[in-house]
């Protein structure tokens, strides 16, 4: 069974409006969540709705935020998201970063006091579509470890290691190393040291320093029961290859687009092309979670 993406987006918007979101923010949040699933990133899209519902019911989400730009310069800005869900402020921050980048050549916009914002690739795609480039540093996002666990499938080798640095492919064990145990976890970009993992580790350390410590946000791991105020670091550098004779060079070796480690091609992935015509395929292990989200008036989401 496939569900048209426009139906899912409409239902998500109704949920967020019932929670008190503005029309604009509800539309942005729903659009980014659906876009994530259309790209095949099931761990960070509509499957997050039950988690957002818990955050809303606990009073941790501000549904009528006022974004405040606390500091700003030609190539930087610092934005207080007012304890809001991260999608709207991240779209705003990414576009602001691109505007500054196109004017100065490089820019960084940092966001703090926000909550989960879905898949980082959605915001990288905004930059890419406007001619700006960026990158991420882990082999795979932590949220993607839950998908093999939910569907009882092995975790790809190289994603997670135990406390001794050995690869973990059992989905339950991998989930525990990422979310429950202090030892082990996700490998950095590059994986093992022999293939450059130490460089990815250095980049992975740098990003939280720039995105969290220097902007006044929290630094992971977060103590249980605390309000994280999750940091966002949006930025990039301008690329002028399209202005060169003949435009940008074609990808080598027959590749049509770049891939992000541990994920699907972005922003030109086959997952989107496959899912858009017939809609979003319901996945048995995750679909029930989508339907448990209520719209604030007691009505379950329709299948």
What's the average pLDDT block by block, 10 residues per block, for the chain (303 residues)? 87 96 97 90 89 94 96 94 95 94 88 90 86 70 84 90 90 91 84 72 74 67 50 51 39 41 43 54 46 43 42
Same domain for 77 and 19: yes
Q: Which long-range contacts (CB under 8 A, 24 or more apart) does 260-265 make?
A: 260/121, 260/124, 260/136, 261/138, 261/139, 261/140, 261/189, 262/138, 262/139, 262/140, 262/141, 262/144, 262/156, 262/159, 263/41, 263/121, 263/140, 263/141, 263/144, 264/39, 264/40, 264/41
Question: By residue range, what is the domain housing residue 123?
Answer: 2-138+196-292
In a domain, 82, yes or no: yes
Per the domain annotation, does 303 fall within a domain? no
Q: Could you give the number of structural domains in the chain?
A: 2
pLDDT at 279: 60
Place of tokens 């670091």: 233
Residue where a domain terminates, one of 123, 152, 187: 187
How far is residue 61 CA from its own chain's centroid?
Answer: 18
The confidence score (pLDDT) of residue 93 equals 93
- Measured CA to CA, the distance from residue 138 to residue 17 in angstroms comes to 34
Nearest to 129 by CA among 171, 162, 91: 91
What's residue 297's pLDDT? 40
Q: How much is the pLDDT for 259?
A: 43
| Same-domain check for residues 207 and 239 | yes
Same domain, 163 and 14: no
């Amino acid at each position: 069974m496939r569900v048209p993406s426009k139906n899912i987006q409409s239902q998500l918007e109704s949920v967020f409006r019932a929670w008190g979101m503005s029309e604009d923010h509800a539309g942005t949040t729903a659009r980014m969540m659906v876009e994530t699933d259309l790209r095949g990133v099931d761990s960070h899209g509509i499957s997050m709705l039950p988690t957002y519902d818990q955050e809303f019911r606990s009073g941790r989400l501000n549904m009528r935020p006022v974004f405040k730009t606390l500091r700003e310069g030609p190539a930087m800005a610092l934005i207080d998201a007012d304890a809001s869900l991260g999608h709207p402020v991240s779209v705003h921050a990414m576009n602001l970063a691109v505007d500054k980048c196109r004017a100065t050549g490089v820019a960084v916009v940092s966001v703090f006091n926000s909550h989960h914002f879905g898949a980082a690739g959605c915001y990288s795609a905004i930059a890419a579509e406007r001619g700006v480039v960026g990158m991420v540093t882990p082999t795979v996002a932590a949220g993607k470890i839950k998908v093999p666990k939910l569907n009882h499938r092995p975790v790809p080798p190289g994603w997670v290691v135990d406390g001794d640095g050995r690869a973990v492919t059992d989905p339950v064990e991998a989930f525990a190393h990422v979310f429950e145990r202090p030892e082990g976890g996700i490998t950095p970009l590059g994986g093992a040291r022999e293939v450059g993992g130490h460089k990815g580790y250095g980049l992975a350390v740098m990003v939280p320093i720039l995105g969290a410590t220097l902007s006044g946000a929290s630094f992971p791991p977060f103590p249980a029961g605390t309000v994280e105020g999750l940091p966002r670091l949006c930025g990039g550098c301008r690329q002028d290859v399209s202005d060169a004779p003949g435009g940008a060079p074609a990808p080598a070796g027959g590749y049509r687009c770049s891939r992000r480690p541990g994920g699907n091609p972005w922003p030109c992935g086959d997952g989107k092309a496959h899912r858009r015509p017939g809609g979003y395929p319901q996945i048995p292990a995750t679909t029930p979670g989508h339907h448990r989200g209520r719209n604030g008036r007691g009505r379950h989401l329709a299948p």
